[in-house]
Structures are given as structure tokens and as C-alpha cells.
Amino acid sequence: MTVALITHPACLAHDPGEWHPECPDRLRVVLRALEHEMFLPLLRETAPEATEDQLGRVHPPSYVAAILGISPAPGEHVSLDADTVMSHGSREAALRAAGGAMMGVDAVMQGWAHRAFVATRPPGHHAERHTPMGFCLFANAAIAARHAQAQWGLARVAVVDFDVHHGNGTQDIFAADPSLFYGSSHQYPCYPGTGAASETGVGNIVNATLAPGAGSGAFRAAWRERIIPALDAFAPDLLIVSAGFDAHKADPLAQLRVETEDFGWLTQELMTVADRHCGGRLVSVLEGGYDLEALAASAALHVRTLLLG
Ligand SMILES: [Zn+2]
């Protein structure tokens, strides 16, 4: 299968500060792992900058202008909340992270790739319409979903999210719109506090909660028994994946016990769903993952599965 790898060096220049877990080395180790010869078949593409109009499909223009107006000098930082920090390079990184996610959609819709992996940062799934949050500035996956509808006329778009944290931003953006589906497995209770099973939107939100300490069995059951059946019932025209690897047992930010191999298993399951409903069209967007070794191994297995499946 033809798989696009979409990234940009500007995403390495977003610097939330020394000791911040969402560090440039996260992306560095992922890209280094993808230099292995088994990844030579990847179609390597450069993420474009999102336009303000494209961001405006999800965020109010005043929010887009406010974020893009924050322009710290080199070496300076501006904190938007306790976790979310902008540096000199953040503006371009955020534009290319959102633009890369949309390019992934274009790749699978134009047909020059069957699947895409968007290796960018900052991540996006905590950014709400009006609020930056949890290391996230723009809601990259949701922006890609809206792009698929606006640019390509797709009726039904699903975002599924296996990051260990609940994607409160994606849920916030999707909850009232039955043309969009959001399904997430996440540790609960945990940051950001949302994602109870009772949060169901207009019947288009599925939150599968996992107790701290849950491992492979509970993780796979959440997908097999809760999220994938609902996703099948929704029957998306495109599947977007918020791919965070911080449910891994080695991750320092949460307490799940997911193994590297579980990410390969889930990737295969999601590819099968995409084959059933939408000609295999699947766009995966990097979210979290904070143990560098586990992140690199898990992301590499994810992309290898996308290539070989
Ligand atoms: Zn996370």
C-alpha cells in the first residue's frame, strides 16, 4: 500500500521550554525511527501551512487571529495556560501541523496515497474551539475532518483517538454534529477530566474509559466491543486517527499498561474498518507519547502496519 509521511522541519522549532514533556525530541525520534530501510517506500511530503480560512472552519476567526498574533522573540516563551506554551517557532509549527493533517486528507482523496501518517507537533486533540489547552493550539484532526467535508464533499467523517488522554477538543467541536463521529479510549480519571462514558453528544460520541493500571486486555476490549461497533454503525466516508502513544506502559504522563504490539493490533483493526466503509482511506495524525523510546517503537510499528497491511 502507498503511504504518505507528511512532516516539516518547522515542527521541531516549536519549543515549549526546557523540561516540557512535549519536546522537539519527540518528533526527532519518530522521524529517526522512520529512516529505517523498511520505510523507504513511504512517500515523503512537506506539510504546508494551513490558511486562516481553513482554521476558521473549526476555530472562530478571533481565536485564530489571537493565536497567530502571539509572536515571542527567539528564546522567549508565552504561556497560554499551565501546560501550553508558545515560542518563536510555534506559530509556523502549529500552521504546518494543521496543514499537514489536511494534506493527509488530500493525499487519500486524490488517491496518490492509500493512507497517510502526519508526523507533526504541536498536537491538537485538546484544543477546543475557543481555547488552547494541553500542549495544543489548533485542533488538527478536527480541522482535517472539516476539510474533508468542505473540500471533498464527504458526508460522514470519523475521528478515533487512542491517545491516553481524552480528546476534549475534538469532542467539543463534534458533539452537536451528527455528520461527525468521535470515539476515544483513554485513562479515566485523568487529564483533562472529560470523557465520561455518559458524554455521548448527539449519539455520535463514544468514550471508552480505562481505569489506571489497565493493560492490553482492557484496551483491546474497549476498541473491539465499544468503539469499533459504533464506528461500523456510523459507516464513515473517511477515517482519521488521533494517534497518541502515551497509553504505553512506559509513558510517564499516565498509568495504563498498553504494550507496543497493541498499537500494531489496533492499527490493523482500524485499517480493516476503513477497508469496510471508505475504500481504505485512513489519515493518522500524531498526538501524544512522552517516553521517547516507547514513542519511537510504537509509532514505527503503527506506520509499518499502515505500509504492510
Ligand atoms: Zn496524551
Question: Is 59 a residue of the active site?
Answer: no
pLDDT at 1: 84
Q: In a structure prediction context, what are the per-residue pLDDT tens digits for the chain, which is 309 residues long? A: 899 999 999 999 999 999 999 999 999 999 999 999 999 999 999 999 999 999 999 999 999 999 999 999 999 999 999 999 999 999 999 999 999 999 999 999 999 999 999 999 999 999 999 999 999 999 999 999 999 999 999 999 999 999 999 999 999 999 999 999 999 999 999 999 999 999 999 999 999 999 999 999 999 999 999 999 999 999 999 999 999 999 999 999 999 999 999 999 999 999 999 999 999 999 999 999 999 999 999 999 999 999 998
- State the catalytic residue, choosing from 14, 114, 125, 126: 126
pLDDT at 239: 99
Quote the pTM value. 0.99
| Ligand 1 centroid to residue 182 C-alpha, Å | 16
pLDDT at 185: 99
| Ligand 1 centroid to residue 246 C-alpha, Å | 6
Q: Map the chain to HEC letters.
A: CCEEEEECHHHHCCCCCCCCCCCHHHHHHHHHHCCCHHHCCCEEEECCCCCHHHHCCCCCHHHHHHHHCCCCCCCCCEECCCCCEECCCHHHHHHHHHHHHHHHHHHHHHCCCCEEEECCCCCCCCCCCCCCECCECCCHHHHHHHHHHHHHCCCCEEEEECCCCCCHHHHHHHCCCCCEEEEEEEECCCCCCCCCCCCCCCCCEEEEEECCCCEHHHHHHHHHHHHHHHHHHHCCCEEEEEECCCCECCCCCCCCEECHHHHHHHHHHHHHHHHHHCCCCEEEEECCCCCHHHHHHHHHHHHHHHHHC
| Ligand 1 centroid to residue 164 C-alpha, Å | 5
pLDDT at 309: 81
